[in-house]
Amino acid sequence: MAHCTTPEAEQLLDKEIPVLDKGFIRLVDYMGSDDRIVQAARVSYGEGTKSYREDRGLIHYLLRNAHTSPFEQVSLTFHTKMPVFVARQWVRHRTARLNEISGRYSIMKDEFFVPSLDSIAAQSSDNKQGRDEQPLPPEQAQAVRDGLIEEQRTAFGLYNERIEQGLARELCRVNLPLSLYTEWYWQIDLHNLFHFLKLRMDHHAQAEIRAYAEAMFEVVKAVCPLAAEAFEQHVLGAVHFSAQEFAALKRHLVESGNEDLDGVSAAAEKEGMPSRETERLLAKLRTGRNV
């Protein structure tokens, strides 16, 4: 079987894509492409000769119906530089393999994340883990930013002093703040990367890790454009209903006189939905099952 590559991904190899003020992601290596996904899916009855349209349809079918194992045949390896607080959120995704720079062996660099003025905001009143959408007034935000920079300088100055005094590096690092930049190599298969992106590109995710996820998705588009398209369609841009929510929706359609669902069909047409997908939507509404 030939090695699956794409010209767009080859052009991205080893190129730093800037993220935040001092961070980046870099595609170090990848294995597989859309071709590998369809080859893996068709292995039970042979590859045969398939068109681009059929490959696209198969990939959409697989993702739409959560047949995820063919996506595990594609893997990507990133070299990433991010603040420690972002890394600690990132590492919660335990389905990857990683190797991080160690402050026990290395002298840490004087590199800290400093938020931009328009990203400095008060605690959200309706989101316990996030910030308000409205930034602080410029003068107040500048004061916060200046304070963060001064505290970072103080912490790194003390770290440097202890390094020069010959104290063990593993002890010198203990008071360095979460804004310090760290680096790692991170390898993950496409199925689990899609799970990471679903969570970290969501508007509830912290803005800083969302920036990394969005940059990584641009790389995925280069490696597997059809799979990325299917992910946007069926996962990233999709909304799922609970059984009770769906029952309420169906009851509304029935009670509003749309038992034949003509209104839904007309709306789908206005959205530019292909007829086959419209039929699938109507079947879902009629049966309450994925089709």
The residues assigned a catalytic role are 200
Residue that the structure tokens 């749309």 belong to: 258
Q: What share of the chain is helix, strand, coil (3-state, %, to 5)?
A: 50, 15, 35
- Using the CB atoms, write b or e for 178-209: b if 16+ within 10 Å: ebbbbbbbbbbbbbbbbebbebbbeeebeebb
**Whole-angstrom distance, CA of residue 216 vs CA of residue 28:** 12
**Residue 132, token pair as written in the block:** 């308000």
8 A C-beta contact, residue 261 and residue 285: yes
Task: Determine phi and psi for 271, rounding to 5 degrees.
Answer: -80, -5
Residue that the structure tokens 């059929």 belong to: 54
Question: How many CB atoms sit inside 10 A of residue 62's CB?
Answer: 21
Long-range contacts of 21-24 (CB under 8 A, 24+ apart): 21/113, 21/114, 21/116, 22/81, 22/111, 22/112, 22/113, 22/181, 23/80, 23/81, 23/82, 23/83, 23/86, 23/113, 23/181, 23/212, 24/80, 24/81
Residues 6+ apart with CB under 8 A from 4: 31, 32, 33, 34, 35, 36, 39
Shortest CA distance to 74 belongs to which of 89, 62, 84, 88?
62
**Whole-angstrom distance, CA of residue 23 vs CA of residue 16:** 9
